[in-house]
Amino acid sequence: MKKGYIIVFVIICLISALFSYMYYFSVPRFSKISVSESTEFTKEVKISFKNNLHKTIDCGVNKDGEEYTKWVSVSEESCSFEVENGKYNFYVKYKDSIIYSDSLDFKINKIIDLKLSEEKMYVLLGEEKRVEYSIEKIGEPLSSVKMESEDTSVFNVIDGVIKPVSDGRARLIVTTSNGISKSAEVIVTSLVKPSSLENNKVRLTCGRYSTEEAHLIDEVLEYKINEAGYKTRGAVVAAARFLVLNFPYKVTYFGENGRLTGAKKADGEGRYYKKGLYLSTDKYNDILYSISGPAIWGCPLLQVIEEPYEVYSNGLDCSGFVTWALFNAGFDVGDIGAGNTYSTNEVYDLGVHHDLTRDFVYNGDYKVGDLIGTDGHAAIIAGLDEEHIYIAESLLNGVVIETFRKDSNELYTLYSYINTMDEVYLEEGNYTDMW
């Protein structure tokens, strides 16, 4: 009897062993799940197994909280998925049965790229400039950057601020904590001064600048205008302020050679219609019309608008200054004057006309960059505060900025209108009420 039990027991053990063997070799066996970097934006999850039957196996993945599962069929000994930040569920299916599952939570923290806001910067000696940059990243990596000057005799960088030392050019190098590096050229110049309300400037003399210096001054003007936003109100403000606040010499007043004598756009004369300042003779190459010149600003030129004809230093008259600022900011309003007499196309007619009254000055909707003047004279509002209006204009003593109290009788005696320019500028750009 006992012998029979032993035989039955042995048979059961053999059957169990056979089933175990069959199961062992008929179901894939798993060795590991691994994670590795795949691309800059994702990670790769790899599920490895022993596919002892070499049959097709389905692998699936879904992001936690999503019902849809992405399935792939493989016959090799692994399957892979790319994932981004978040928690993911992984499955292996064989013959419609889930035989493996796992979950992993991924946090990808990586700096992808560094971008400087400017590839070339102009910094005036005596001012400072903060370096603007952006970092493209995944997750929340440490995004600290190191900034250094290629030549500390030209400028230093302290706490993200460029501090100029002397005239020259050097590269700014910015490097992220994971080694991504970008650079920009920094030009430091003393040819243009930080904004200063100074009307006792020395008059510009003939040939004051070399061609190279004149070109650099033009580059700084263009840079300031682009910072403000080309073809915006801010650009007009930047151009007007440049000549009265930043340029270290006073551009002289010169009469309207050209406009009133029939030669439109006499840009070799006292009405200049080219980008930049009229400081180098190489600009003669682009001149279209000239009557008695050409002569750059500060050089002698015969003024022929009325007898007796006399020689003066070339410069800008009132409407010449206004149209120069508008043109350099991106608004070519044509060869127009300041009056309300000769035609309907004058500075007087630009924008929306408002009589200059005390009520409008204190309560009106006008801004820096709007025009101010009277019949025969035009200027630009270059600054505003609670008590004052700062007016950039060309007077007989040159291109200057004048300060008027809003309650002064002189303001209402000298000027009769403010033209708001929203319908001309269309966009505001970047500017402040005061410099």
Euclidean distance between CA atoms 259 and 336, whole angstroms: 7
On the question of pLDDT at 22 being above 60, the answer is no
Percent of the chain residues topping a pLDDT of 70: 89
On the question of pLDDT at 134 being above 70, the answer is yes
The phi, psi pair for 227, rounded to 5°, reads: -60, -40
| Residue 156 contacts residue 92 (beta carbons within 8 Å) | no
Answer yes or no: same fold for 110-189 and 211-425: no
Q: Is the peptide bond before 300 cis (omega within 30 degrees of 0)?
A: no
The string of pLDDT tens digits covering residues 346-405 is: 999 999 999 999 999 999 999 999 999 999 999 999 999 999 999 999 999 999 999 999
Question: Which of residues 357 and 293 earns the better pLDDT score?
Answer: 357
Q: What is the pLDDT of residue 335?
A: 85
Average pLDDT, the chain: 89
Q: What's the whole-number mean pLDDT along residues 182-192?
A: 98
On the question of pLDDT at 24 being above 50, the answer is no
Closest CA to 315 of 258, 379, 252: 252
Euclidean distance between CA atoms 371 and 353, whole angstroms: 9
Tokens representing 101 are 């599952």
Q: What is the pLDDT of residue 26?
A: 55
Q: What is the pLDDT of residue 261?
A: 65
CATH 2.170.190.11, domain 110-189, yes or no = no
On the question of pLDDT at 2 being above 60, the answer is no
On the question of pLDDT at 184 being above 50, the answer is yes
Q: What is the pLDDT of residue 78?
A: 85
The string of pLDDT tens digits covering residues 162-171 is: 999 999 999 9
Q: What is the pLDDT of residue 258?
A: 76
SS3 sequence, 26-93? HCCEEEEEEEEECCCCCEEEEEEEECCCCCCEEEEEEECCCCCCEEEEECCCEEEEEECCEEEEEEEE
On the question of pLDDT at 15 being above 70, the answer is no
Q: What is the pLDDT of residue 267?
A: 87
Kindly provide the b/e burial profile for residues 370-408, where b requires at least 16 CB atoms within 10 angstroms of the residue's own CB. bbbbbeebbbbbbbbeeebbbbbbbeeebbbbbebeeee
Question: Which of residues 19 and 15 earns the better pLDDT score?
Answer: 15
Determine which of 18-27, 184-193, 256-265, 359-368 has the lowest per-residue pLDDT on average: 18-27
Q: Which CATH superfamily groups domain 26-106?
A: Immunoglobulins (2.60.40.10)
DSSP conformation class of 244: I
The string of pLDDT tens digits covering residues 316-332 is: 999 999 999 999 999 99
With 0-12 CB in 10 A as exposed, 13-18 as middle and 19+ as buried, what is 421? buried
Q: What is the pLDDT of residue 141?
A: 82
The string of pLDDT tens digits covering residues 145-154 is: 999 999 999 9
Confidence class for position 282, pLDDT limits 50, 70, 90:
very high
CATH 2.40.10, domain 211-425, yes or no = no
Three-point CA angle 15, 21, 25, nearest 5°: 150
Q: What is the pLDDT of residue 19?
A: 54
- Break the chain into its structural domains and give their ranges: 26-106, 110-189, 211-425
Q: What is the pLDDT of residue 11?
A: 65
Euclidean distance between CA atoms 238 and 221, whole angstroms: 8
Determine which of 94-108, 147-161, 301-315 has the lowest per-residue pLDDT on average: 94-108
Question: Which of residues 101 and 301 earns the better pLDDT score?
Answer: 301
| Residue 83 contacts residue 108 (beta carbons within 8 Å) | no
